[in-house]
Chain A
Amino acid sequence: MRNPKVETVRGVNDVLPPTYRLQKQIENQLSSCFQSFGYRPIDVPVIEYTELFLRKSGEELISRMYDFTYHNRRLCLRPELTASVARAYIQTTLQGEPLPVRLYYSGPVFRYEKPQRGRYRQFTQMGVEAIGAAGSMADAEMIALACQSLDKLGLKDYRVVLGNISLLNQFLRTMPLERRLGNFLLSQMEELRKVRRAALEAAIEEICPPDNLVETSRLQHLLQGLSEEEAKATILELLENTNVNLVGNRQKMDIANSLMGKIQRAEQKPLWLKALDFMEQLAQLQGKPQEVLPSARQLLASYHMDSGGLGELEEILAILPSYNIDSTRIRLDFGLSRGLQYYTGTIFEIHHETLGQERQLCGGGRYDDLVKTLGGNNDIPASGFSFGIERIRLAMESEGILPVVEESTVDALIVPLSAAEHCYSIEVGEKLRSKGLRVVLEVRGKNLSTSLKYAAKQTIPFVIVVGEAERLANVVVVKNMATRQQQQLPLEEAVMVMRRENDE
């Protein structure tokens, strides 16, 4: 009986040679673009402490992480690379280098998603980080580099969507909104356009039930009119007298403080309703820059908010033409939020017109707090972006511009006619390889006619036959598979024949 098969884990793929070559070719082109802007390659581990992503990546991403405990350490497979690169910067000698430090990376990331076309549980991200540079010149470089990279690949039907998360951040910071709720709202900017507002409100109430204060309200009643000190003393006294048996490592004082906090907690619903109103208005602001900017300015003025973020966007828009970026590709969208919590300013995405739901090719932005959050010495501004390599391949496929991968990767097959020629055939092979040819040896002891069929199937252009006569005369028989012609030649000449064919 045959043993049961072991298959791939759901949602991940084997990448077979043709696709692998294509992706490597794409990555090589991107690398050369990145290098032309002075970015240097870095590689970071696939496995990290979960804590790295808990710090700032956002609940949305965390809930999709491969997160596990192994030998008492909480580890995860990286869901993205920016946090890892920032960690590496802080942890290594990079931190001593003059700023900005420009780095690029490429590698697999892992997210527990519902698998579908263009969305897999392992995929490849390739991107750049510029650590230690703030301002519109740095932001514009990011966007320009991303666009030029896609141009270099020959992609045409893409669109750059540009936004600035600081507007929403600034708004949310002005009110005593629970952090968890604030983060949720940040991550829901895009949802707001997809789902009805009522559905979003229901989701918020699920996270933050409006009326969970039944028990507290009784207490609140009891403590009304007392000063904070008196109230706390009363709670402590209550705890003391009711003989509450404390378990674990919470002290009575902790509980009293927390209860006070709960009583004083501002009712959240009016706050998030107000935030949703603002978000809905922000989400309306999308389209051509010259049309969107004035309305954005109006909106901020009506909320008495600082419009610094808009100024930055205008500067970036003014710089981009110098990089030969086609301005008709650029849309402003203040409903863009990117889901990751570490962004602080300019953010952008690049979408491909033909890919539907999975249209995002690239995403990035400014993350000025991340280095500090991860324990870096100073406030170090930074920005970056990353491409989804598989998505880029799909986009190129849909535009019909995938590079043609040569069918055969082998120039010649060497067939020894008997065991006596084994050593000689290896010698021939080694010599041909040293001349830069790609050569395979018939190692399975098959006869000549089987070997010729094999060569035909594999589209190997030449078969080199060595028998006793050739070994003794120190020559080879070269058979051209296309013309069916064969001739006995010294090795040097055989090389020339094959090279000529290769060059044509």
Chain B
Amino acid sequence: MMSNLKIALPSKGALDKDTRQFFAAAGLKVSRPNERQYVGTIPALGISVLFQRAADIFTKVAEESVDLGITGYDVVRENGRDYDNVIVICHRLGYGGCDLVLAVPDSWIDVTSSQDLADLTLVFKEKGRDMRIATKYPNLTRQWFYSKRIVNFSLVEAHGALEAAPSMGYADAIVDITSTGTTLRENRLKRLLDGNIIESEACLIGNRNTLKGNQEKLATTKVMLELIEAHSLGKKYISLTANVRGNSPEEIGQKLTQDLDIAGLAGFAGPTVAKVYGAEDDCYGATIVVSKKDVSAAVEHLRRVGGRDITGFTPNYIFGDRSNIYEDLITKLNH
């Protein structure tokens, strides 16, 4: 199967690995013949893949070089203003989580909140200089400062290791992404109490112009989104099957559903009960699909009605009656 749909995926680092895992798990293995080459495919749907730095993927989508792209939500928010042709198709893909934070030197024991920072900018101002903030996110940083009504600061273009900027003396504080905070700590920096600028995850974006009205691309996109959505949903559930003794399927079905406390433990619509053809004539198999967090409660529930030999597995996909993400996409395209 060949399609003319093009997607840009992160070319290196954690986001690369996690993205490929994410796609593979949904049945969309990404093939990259050579790590030094920047093209690949998703053979299952014949999608062409362009490998790019996460920071450049937004631009590739905006420039219409590709139809879809996966990058960090931080990148989208930083670049997205005034780009009406780029739409966010799915804003949380469930991996690649990190925070964009403002961090100041540990030694600033007088600064713990944005209010302290605001005061300090005025002290700096009185001494005739601006507080310098090093960042690769100038737009989000400026917006955050303005939202706190702080105007006396200047942005410093980041060269290389941002975290080192304060100790190297070319900035006073930084705005950068962090997932565990280790790098900040190692560089003797600390977050402000209210210094979280945005929470980010990997997200899927698309170009309105190249997708809208292109039935062929939309058809491929739809299959891709269906698989991603159904897999993401499937991951959250577990299917449990138990052998239960009873006189009839109806009796077992009733036992499993009568108790009102077990809402959600009897499957989406209710249990499926079928006869087990074995040595015992009164044995039935009862299957329920439940949310993973309810697994032990559901097992207990099955046991209460006599369930044994309980097997559990995670469905690879759960398809609903329609694809929500795809329908959202169509709405956004027509908006």
Contact = CB atoms under 8 A, between A and B. Distances in A.
A179 B111 CA distance: 18
Given A178-B115, A244-B106, 17 more contacts: A59-B146, A179-B122, A180-B118, A180-B150, A183-B149, A207-B115, A209-B113, A212-B115, A212-B116, A214-B193, A216-B112, A247-B105, A255-B107, A255-B108, A255-B109, A258-B111, A258-B123
B114 interface: yes
Q: When A and B form their complex, which 4 residue pairs have the shortest distance between CB atoms, in order from nearest?
A: A212-B113, A63-B146, A259-B110, A258-B110
A184 interface: yes
A189 B105 CA distance: 37
Contacts of B114: 207, 209
A262 B146 contact: no
Contacts of A261: 119
B194 A212 contact: yes
B120 interface: yes
Given A258-B110, A262-B119, A248 B172 contact: yes
B109 A59 contact: no
5 contacts: A62-B146, A207-B114, A207-B149, A212-B194, A247-B167
The interface residues of chain A, by DSSP majority, are classed as helix
B133 to A, nearest CB: 12
Interface in B266-293: none
A75 B167 CA distance: 28
A14 interface: no
Contact of A184 (B109, B111, B149, B188): B149
Contacts of B194: 209, 212
Contact of A180 (B82, B106, B123, B149): B149
Interface centre among B109, B123, B167, B188 (most CB of A within 10 A): B109
A208 interface: yes
A215 interface: yes
A482 interface: no
Contact of A10 (B82, B107, B146): B82
Nearest to B167: A247
B149 A255 contact: no
B254 interface: no
B203 to A, nearest CB: 23
Contacts of B169: 247-249
Interface residues of A, number: 34
Nearest to A53: B151
A303 to B, nearest CB: 26
Given A59-B151, A247-B188, A258 B107 contact: no
A194 interface: no
Given A54-B152, A254-B123, A261-B119, A248 B110 contact: no
A178 B114 CA distance: 13
Contacts of A209: 113-115, 193-194
B21 interface: no
Contacts of A244: 106-107, 109
Contacts of B116: 212, 258, 262
Interface string B127-150: 000000000000000000011111
Interface string B194-207: 10000000000000
Contacts of A62: 146, 151
B189 to A, nearest CB: 9
B166 interface: yes
Contacts of A207: 114-115, 147-149
Interface in A279-323: none
Nearest to B172: A248
Contacts of B3: none
B154 interface: yes
A261 B115 CA distance: 12
A52 interface: no
B108 to A, nearest CB: 7
Nearest to B188: A245
Nearest to B151: A62
Contact of A63 (B111, B115, B151, B152): B151
A206 to B, nearest CB: 7
